[in-house]
Structure 1
Amino acid sequence: MQRQAAGLRERKKARTRTAIQQHALRLFREQGYQATTVDQIAEAAEVAPSTVFRYFATKEDLAVLDDYYSLAETIAAALAAQPGTTHPVEALRDALRVAFGGLTDEERAARYERDLLMVTIPELWSANLGMIVTGRKMIRDQMTSRAPGKGVLVDAAIGVALGVLLDWVKQPDGDPAAALDEALTELLASAR
């Protein structure tokens, strides 16, 4: 029974953390990062400022999106599950299909919002460069283990993904996962 209570408590903490960060991101989008205060974030999330600081030590930590609708573990597992004979770009495309396909509509919308804000708000971009570097390394390590010497394909795929995000900023009504799938299919065709 104690384990169940701890599980409920952890889920509640995770929901509170996500809600606080979701309100922070909305305010960053509406007002700008610099103009948004922790007090405003707390008010929007209907928590005390001390609660915000319990989950995020600084305002800057609210901009770090490592755990906010992250697909890193799902992508890593989906890549690992791919047959070793699968072309690296095809394996990545298929892993991304699994990751995005497993999201609910609400999770997908939150993930899209996260990515859109990351490429349009400079403070979010700079706060998340480490996450991008870590993701690149994880994907590159998995890809080069299946196809030694093909790490450049990972960098090409990451460049394609960034291009899709930057194009999406201009037309945010589109589906970036579908656009990424299409772009990686084109990359795969030219890499064979």
Structure 2
Amino acid sequence: MTVIAPGSAGRPSSPGARGPSAGEPDAPPQLGLRERKKLKTRIAIREATYRLIAEQGYEATTVEQIARAAEVSPSTVFRYFPTKEDIVLTDEFDPVLERLLRARPADEDPLESLMIVFREGFAVFAASDGDAVVERTRLILEVPAVRARMTETMAETSQVLIRALADRDGVDRDDLRPRVFAAAVTGVLREALLVWAERGHGGDLMAVVDEALGQLRGGLRLRPEGPSPTR
């Protein structure tokens, strides 16, 4: 769960976009028929959920209503999303995140790799479904159950980071270093999303993420660099 680029996996490039050059990773293989059907169902459920929430609010929206609107059974909804909160929070970006991270140069600074990968994800997101993340972060901010579930599901993204970065750097996945690094990054990303939502979704989300990750890179300080203020 990344809460950045819903539905980014498998989207075609924009017209005139540059294709991969020599030395760049090949495009991922196309989804098979079964995978495409699953993705279509997940998207239908998610779109129905957002539509109903916009009409009647989060608390008033039930899984049964979502199932009817998506033209599936309630059991199908639960098969794809264990809780109603998961419908709001789950996206398709974690596998893309892992693939892009593994494609970065092995000697590149891990934080720099992440900032580049997030920018790529945001570029796809901005060109496709920008309204979804606005609604998603609004619900995270306003609905305690969604916010609590977000904290739990961010652990899944943390595991993606641990796998990709530990394997790339040749360290054990149980080593404390990749685990602390992943926990710090996902915590920073969570707070950046909340700050952006608290500010009314104004400005560039990626700029907020860049600023937050930049603070992590420079060492955590509560005061800006410079002379101490006089009392």
Q: TM-score range by the shorter chain?
A: 0.7 to 0.9
One-letter code aligned to 2:77: F
Q: Is the 8 A contact 1:20 1:41 kept in 2?
A: yes
What is the match of residue 166 of structure 1?
194
Q: Is the 8 A contact 1:88 1:153 kept in 2?
A: no
Q: Provide the rounded CA distance (Å) in 1 between the counterparts of 2:213 and 2:119.
A: 11
What is the match of residue 188 of structure 1?
217
Give the number of aligned pairs.
Answer: 181
Q: 1:57 to 1:138 in 2, by over 3 A?
A: closer
The residue correspondences of 1:56-71 to structure 2 (distance < 5 A) are 56-57=77-78, 61-65=83-87, 68-71=90-93
One-letter code aligned to 1:15: K
* Cα distance, 1:180 vs structure 2: 0.7
What is the match of residue 3 of structure 1?
none
What is the match of residue 17 of structure 1?
42
Deviations 1:58-117 (CA, angstroms, capped at 9, x unpaired): 896332149843210111111111112211211111121122223353333324433442
Q: Provide the rounded CA distance (Å) in 2 between the counterparts of 1:13 and 1:151.
A: 31
- Report which stretch shifted further, 36-45 or 13-22: 36-45
- 2:165 aligned with 1:143, yes or no? yes
Aligned with 2:125: secondary structure? coil
> Which runs of no fewer than 5 residues in structure 1 stay unpaired?
1-5
Q: Is the 8 A contact 1:88 1:147 kept in 2?
A: no
Q: TM-score if structure 2 supplies the norm length?
A: 0.62
Q: Provide the rounded CA distance (Å) in 1 between the counterparts of 2:163 and 2:39.
A: 30
% of aligned pairs identical?
Answer: 29
Which of the pair has the greater relative contact order for Cα pairs under 8 Å at 6+ separation? 2
Q: Provide the rounded CA distance (Å) in 2 between the counterparts of 1:65 and 1:43.
A: 15
What is the match of residue 132 of structure 1?
154
Among residues 36, 45, 50, which one is paired with 2:61 in the alignment? 36
Root-mean-square deviation (Å):
3.3
- Report which stretch shifted further, 94-103 or 59-68: 59-68
